[in-house]
Structures are given as C-alpha cells and as structure tokens.
C-alpha cells in the first residue's frame, strides 16, 4: 500500500464546476504539499500545509491531521486548470524522514472542458 | 521568477553514452538538493539526496556508480547518467529547500531523458 493515496486518479470537469481532489496518508508528517504538474513536466508548488486551511485565488487546500487527510478544491474551474495535481508529504523524523525529501502520491489528472 | 533552474529540459542520447543534468539554485543557498525520477503513470520517487561538499545519499535500488551526483557548490548539483540504457529513459527532476528550511519546496523544470 502506498504511503500517499490520491483520488480520483482521473477527473474530467466542465468549465465552472467545483472540483475536489483528495489525499490520504498513512505516516506521520511534518508538512503536506499540493503540487501542479503541467504536460511538459515542470512542477509548481501550490500549497504547503501543516494544519488548517489555505486559500490562494480559486484554490483552497485543507488538511485534517487527526484523520490524515487533505483536500484540494478548485472553484469555478477553467480549462487552464487542466494539469496533474500531486499530493506530497514530508515525513516526521521518527517515520524515517531524514533531510526533508518528499513522498509523492501518483497524482490526479484533471481535464477541464470548455 | 524561477527559483531553481534545471537543464537540459529534454535530451535524447544513444545507449552507452553519458548524460549530465544540472540543477542550479538561483536565489538560495542549498546545502541539500533532491533528485527524483518519474516513470510513466508512476509517482515521483526519490533517487538520491545531494549534499554540498560530501557524498550523496542514494535510495535503495539506485546504483551510485550509474547515477553520479556532484554537489560542488551551494548553488549547483549535477546528476550524470553514465552508460545510459533505454530503461533509464525517464523524467528526472531536482528539488531543494531554501537555506536548509524543511518547509518550502522548489522544483526544477525537469529533464525528459530518452535513451535510444
């Protein structure tokens, strides 16, 4: 079983729809990242969370540490949001976290149709 | 602007040749950089941790003699794929935490390596 699980794997939405991508993890973490990967491969960090909720424009990220779960929401989705969204966690030291590397989920491929 | 510069973005090479990928920190000193690899439809997986001025730490199953890492300065780490084989074809990406802080993460643009 992967330490970081994302769902859904693929998601197709119509422009304007509200989108939710989920991430569950099974290890102790110091932080959780939501990343965006475009078709060319480059990765952009969207959020880094250790508790609560963050908002940036149409993007909202939440995390529940007790339930080991995080969600990424996109409001009023747009075709330019089409990308792969990746959840990644940074392990606590007693879970084998060493120098700050991340463990990644497999990503959610989002396609927003006009 | 970009915090991490990685190049080349794409490279095609013949089997048996070596390929060097550079990862440069533009705005921060980075004593530690991370090299990840991503195969199609798979997660990014840590290959090695690059430490400035000392030997890299390799993950289990990653051959240190095949994937040579040099981190000679606080702003530059290089990954050299030696004697490349078609199974080394993958997407390689570097990452760093600015000034040793284990909170923010910045990524290079990635390198798509194709070995023919």
For range B94-116, the mean pLDDT: 82
What was the pLDDT predicted at B110? 93
A45 CB-contact burial (10 Å; exposed 0-12 / middle 13-18 / buried 19+): middle
Q: Does the pLDDT at position B100 exceed 90? A: no
**A6 pLDDT tier (thresholds 50, 70, 90):** very high
Nearest beta carbon to residue A106 from set B43, B46, B106: B43
Longest Cα–Cα distance of chain A, Å, equals 46
Q: Does the pLDDT at position A97 exceed 70? A: no
Kindly determine whether residue A86 and residue B44, on different chains, have CB atoms separated by under 8 Å.
yes
Task: Give the DSSP H/E element, type plus range, for residue B106.
Answer: strand B106-107
Q: How far is B18 from chain A (nearest CA, A)?
A: 22
Collect all residues of chain A within an 8 Å Cβ-Cβ radius of residue B51: 99
User: Before A8, cis peptide (omega within 30)?
Assistant: yes
**B30 pLDDT tier (thresholds 50, 70, 90):** confident
**B29 pLDDT tier (thresholds 50, 70, 90):** confident
Listed residue (A103, A101, A107, A114) closest to A84, CA to CA? A107
A44 → chain B, closest CA residue: B107
Residues 59-78 of A with CB under 8 A from B: none
Q: What is the pLDDT of residues B49-73, one digit of tens each?
A: 988 888 899 999 999 999 999 988 8
β A29-37/A43-49 pair status: antiparallel
Token reading at A49? 């969370």
Q: Which of A43-47, A68-72, B37-41, B60-64 has the highest mean pLDDT?
A: A68-72
């Amino acid at each position: 079983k992967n330490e970081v699980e994302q769902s859904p794997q693929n998601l197709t939405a119509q422009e304007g729809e509200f989108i939710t991508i989920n991430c569950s993890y099974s290890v102790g973490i110091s932080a959780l990242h939501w990343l965006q990967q475009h078709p060319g491969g480059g990765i952009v960090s969207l959020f880094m969370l250790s508790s609560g909720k963050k908002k940036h424009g149409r993007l909202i990220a939440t995390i529940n540490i007790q339930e080991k779960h995080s969600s990424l929401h996109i409001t009023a989705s747009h075709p330019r949001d089409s990308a792969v969204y990746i959840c990644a966690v940074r392990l606590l030291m007693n879970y084998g976290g060493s120098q700050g590397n991340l463990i990644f989920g497999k990503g959610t491929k989002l396609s927003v149709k006009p | 602007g970009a915090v991490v510069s990685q190049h080349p973005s794409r490279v095609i090479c013949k089997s048996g040749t070596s390929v060097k990928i550079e990862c440069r920190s533009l705005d921060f000193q980075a004593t530690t950089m991370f090299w990840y690899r991503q195969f199609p439809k798979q997660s990014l997986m840590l290959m090695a941790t690059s430490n400035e001025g000392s030997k890299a730490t390799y993950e289990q199953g990653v051959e240190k003699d095949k994937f040579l890492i040099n981190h000679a300065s606080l702003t530059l780490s290089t990954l050299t794929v030696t004697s490349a084989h078609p199974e080394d074809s993958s997407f390689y990406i570097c990452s760093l935490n600015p000034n040793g802080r284990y909170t923010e993460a910045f990524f290079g643009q990635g390198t798509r390596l194709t070995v023919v």
